[in-house]
Structure 1
Amino acid sequence: MHSKVVRLIAWNLVAIAILASWFWLPNHGFWFDIDSRVFYYFNNKLGESQAWVNVIGIANNRAFDLVAIAAMGLLYYSYYRKATPEQKRRLLLLGLLMLLTAVGLNQLGRAIPVDRPSPTLTFEGVYRLTELAGFKTKDSSGDSFPGDHGLMLMIFTAFVWRYLSWKAGLWGGLFVLVFSAPRVMGGAHWLTDIYVGAFSVAAFGLSWLLLTGVMDSLLGWLDQYLPKRRRV
């Protein structure tokens, strides 16, 4: 059996198994225990240090999302600036397809029949980042599953791993860990919103796009039919 077919099946089985284990177990089974422990660990820390509150509050401010975007942009640009004109065109088209994929998979995630409020809206008597920080930040979500922030980071990681290099993929993986963590630390997301919900959607959707040749075909189609800049 072709290695890509094996990987496609494997990624789909992993995605389905992880999501099913969370979705079908009563009260999410062992996943809820993990979620609760992680939430209370970080929530208790909010009551111990104002400095910690400020750091997590800043990391959960909407403006901080620009840091994640800048990190991904700089990584992508580091490959773009060394590319030939033909490769640069390909990278621009790939960026467009990446954005379209993000929109599509986000909608796929929203189609999962789950309405799950964040832990700060689930547990009573907990510390609220918005009350402690003294400036605008985020600590809750009425529907936190799957984590769209983590999903976007995972999509970027898969694309740069597939089309740039494995080193770029490792950087992308680091971005997932670093830039999705504040949402969990602040209580706006459960850990499983990211590593069950977002991961399952990413593993399922991206495996069909990247391992079947669909994305390669779309990239080739755009390169063929979109107008090219004429050289003088």
Structure 2
Amino acid sequence: MDNATLFQAKWQWRAFLISHLVALLLITLWLIPSVRIALLNMDAHLFHVLNSPLESNTVWLHVWAVASLRPFDIVVGVILLALTVRGNWVFKPEQVRSALFGLLTVLLTLLLIRSFFTKAIEAAGLQHASPSDLLAHAIHMSDYFQTWERTWELKDRSGASFPGDHASVLLLWGFFLTAFTRKPLQLMVTWLLVFLFMMPRLVAGAHWASDDYIGGVAIALLAMAWGLYTPLAHAGSRLLTQITTPLFRVSAHLPVINRLSLVRYC
């Protein structure tokens, strides 16, 4: 797989349709009232298991409080970006720039789909608040770290938690890398990070689990369908590569930076 064929300039109908069918199945199941109630009951049990130890376990409280701060999302983004553009991890060194721009194109697709989907859920009156707002005896980390909450915003509640926006981005990154990954170790590391970085919102109660495994998965699959399995990623990657080539050529003369695969292959 060379740089020119990393993304296909054609519709991949089989993957496109399968992604839509799975997303439609998940959303349809969630729309059935009895199924949705059953899922939320299971989510409530999981929330209790994850959230209750915050009251008695100081280490558990501090670890997840730090992981729930807004700046920690930046740390997560840097880790995901580093793995995406690390030459010879999933992509060859000469492919990483194309891969990055393709991923950015699919992420923009995700933002558009998520915006439309969220508005549709709200219009249908199906939006709900997070478990930390609705369930009795929920432990709010922001009550323990009020200074952190005022300074950094500690994400432990939401008035509109479906679908899981944070999870949808993580899941999309996981699906994207999986589409190009062939080694079991790479798959294991990718999905270990996805599930690990999804955990803070679940422990804090900012999202129900089904916000992630129903809403987040469905949105990520739709973004993959329209972003990766159509010519969109190919076109977006080529356009962004052309626009940024002069910048990377200048960066190629900078010490240390010029050693990065992202910069080296102009």
Question: TM-score range, shorter-chain basis?
Answer: 0.7 to 0.9
Does the alignment pair 1:158 with 2:206? no
Listed one character per residue, the Cα deviations across residues 166-185 of structure 1 (whole Å, up to 9, x for unaligned) are 45555332222010111001
1:20–1:38 CA distance, 2 compared to 1 (3 A)? same
| 2:19 and 2:221 in contact (8 A); partners too | yes
Deviation of 1:23 after TM superposition, in Å, equals: 1.8
Instruction: Give the percent of matched residue pairs that are identical in Structure 1 and Structure 2.
Output: 26
**Corresponding position: 1:190 with 2:223:** no
Aligned 8 A contact 1:153 1:172 in 2:
no
Cα 1:190–1:205, aligned 2, differ >3 Å: closer, same or farther?
Answer: same
Q: Is the 8 A contact 2:54 2:60 kept in 1?
A: yes
Name the residue aligned to 2:259: none
RMSD, matched Cα? 2.8
Q: Does 1:174 align with 2:184?
A: no
Superposition pairs for residues 14-93 of structure 1, below 5 Å? 14-26=22-34, 28-79=36-87, 83-84=93-94, 87=95, 89-93=97-101
1:87-166 equivalence runs, <5 A: 87=95, 89-113=97-121, 114-133=126-145, 135-136=148-149, 137-162=154-179, 164-166=180-182
Q: Structure 1 residue 201 and structure 2 residue 219: aligned?
A: yes
3-state DSSP of counterpart to 2:129: coil
CA apart distance, 1:231: 7.3
| Alignment check: 8 A CA contact 2:20 2:222 kept | yes
SS in 2 for 1:110: helix
Count of aligned residue pairs for this structure pair = 225
Cα distance in structure 2, aligned partners of 1:64 and 1:226: 30
CA–CA distance in structure 2, aligned partners of residues 199 and 118 of structure 1: 18
Give 1:213 deviation, angstroms: 3.5
- Do 1:109 and 1:198's aligned partners in 2 also have CA atoms closer than 8 Å? no
Q: What amino acid sits opposite 1:165 in the alignment? A: T
The code of the aligned residue for 1:185 comes to V
Measure, in 2, the Cα distance between the counterparts of 1:92 and 1:15. Answer: 25
Cα displacement (A) at 1:58: 1.2
Q: Which amino acid aligns with 2:132?
A: T
Change (3 A) 1:153 1:12: same
- Residues 22, 220 of structure 1: alpha-carbon distance in 2 compared, 3 angstrom cutoff: same
The aligned residue for residue 8 of structure 2 is: none
- Paired letter, 1:127: I
State the shift of 1:31 in Å: 0.7
Q: TM-score, normalised by structure 2?
A: 0.73
Q: Structure 1: 5+ residue runs without aligned partners? A: none
SS in 1 for 2:214: helix
The alignment's TM-score, normalised by the length of structure 1, stands at: 0.82
Deviates more, 1:100-109 or 1:27-36: 100-109
CA gap of 1:103–1:60, structure 2 versus 1, over 3 A, is: same
Distance 1:89 1:59 in 2: 29
Contact (CA 8 Å) 1:31, 1:192: kept in 2 or not?
yes
What one-letter code is carried by the residue in structure 1 that aligns with 2:61?
A: V
